[in-house]
């Protein structure tokens, strides 16, 4: 299984289950525009039930993982219910997984640069109604700063919202900027009192053996799934 999934290295309660799929897990369904093959995912990870699939549009919307929200537009999904799987897909954008220290709430966030510029992370925390100081965060596989060149217009959007994000950009040789999605996410999480923060050591672009990368390969090859749920070994309070 080590070549199929990554499990977050974080001190979450034992009944919190979380994974990010790798290329060799073969959960990308190419017949459906490289979306995740949910049936294979359920089989491989023995999920308690099928995840709610959201329509990711680089928004700032976070919604609960309810059947009524299936295929609704959002870029974060959360739950307080046992066995309800929160799932997002990425292929360079940053997956952020959250749980509270008691293990009674979890969330999965799709955080590309547009979502980060719209504060998808703090808005998810707000929507969940939890204190940042009560949360643990894991940053899953995303494109790293040396491989992520963006234009001045991207940097300006961040600086207009928060001048502190200037530290997440360094000049590129092409008179553009190299953006650090991990650093921006850490900054936003820290500003909301979330610590410690785990993960953030991956690069989807440079590690072709393990990860899909939209910027490297285009959209046709596939995507990774990042998912988290509360196992039913923990009673709902």
* Residue 31 covered by a domain: yes
User: What's the domain range around 49?
Assistant: 5-146+197-230
Tens digit of pLDDT for each residue in 198-237?
999 999 999 999 999 999 988 767 899 999 999 986 555 4
pLDDT exceeds 50 at position 20: yes
Q: Which long-range contacts (CB under 8 A, 24 or more apart) does 107-111 make?
A: 107/62, 107/76, 107/77, 107/78, 107/79, 107/228, 108/76, 108/77, 108/78, 108/226, 108/227, 108/228, 109/62, 109/75, 109/76, 110/56, 110/58, 110/75, 110/76, 111/75, 111/181, 111/185
pLDDT exceeds 50 at position 131: yes
* Residue 96 covered by a domain: yes
pLDDT band, residue 2 (cuts 50/70/90) = low
The total number of structural domains in the chain stands at 1
What pLDDT is stored for residue 32 in this prediction?
Answer: 47
* Residue 236 covered by a domain: no
Among 2-6, 172-176, 212-216, name the one with the lowest average pLDDT: 2-6
pLDDT exceeds 80 at position 34: no
Which CATH number does the domain housing residue 36 bear?
3.60.140.10
* Residue 158 covered by a domain: no
């Amino acid at each position: 299984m080590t070549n199929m999934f990554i499990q977050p290295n974080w001190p979450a309660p034992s009944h919190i289950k979380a994974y990010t799929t790798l290329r060799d897990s073969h959960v990308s369904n190419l017949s459906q525009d490289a979306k995740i093959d949910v049936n294979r995912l359920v089989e491989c990870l023995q999920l308690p039930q099928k995840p709610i699939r959201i329509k990711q549009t680089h928004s700032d919307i976070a919604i609960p993982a309810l059947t009524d929200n299936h295929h609704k537009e959002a870029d974060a999904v959360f739950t307080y219910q046992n066995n309800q799987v929160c799932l997002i897909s990425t292929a360079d954008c940053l997956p952020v997984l959250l749980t509270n220290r008691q293990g009674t709430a979890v969330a999965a966030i799709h955080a590309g640069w547009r979502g980060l510029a719209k504060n998808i992370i703090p808005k998810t925390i707000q929507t969940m109604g939890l204190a940042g100081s009560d949360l643990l965060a894991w940053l899953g596989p995303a494109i790293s700063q040396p491989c992520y060149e963006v234009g001045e217009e991207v940097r300006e959007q961040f600086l207009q919202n928060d001048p502190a994000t200037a530290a997440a950009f360094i000049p590129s040789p092409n008179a553009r900027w190299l953006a650090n999605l991990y650093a921006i996410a850490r900054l936003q999480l820290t500003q909301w009192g979330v610590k410690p923060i785990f993960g953030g050591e991956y690069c989807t672009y440079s590690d072709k053996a393990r990860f899909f990368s939209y910027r490297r390969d285009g959209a046709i090859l596939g995507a990774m799934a990042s998912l988290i749920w509360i196992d039913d070994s923990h009673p709902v309070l």
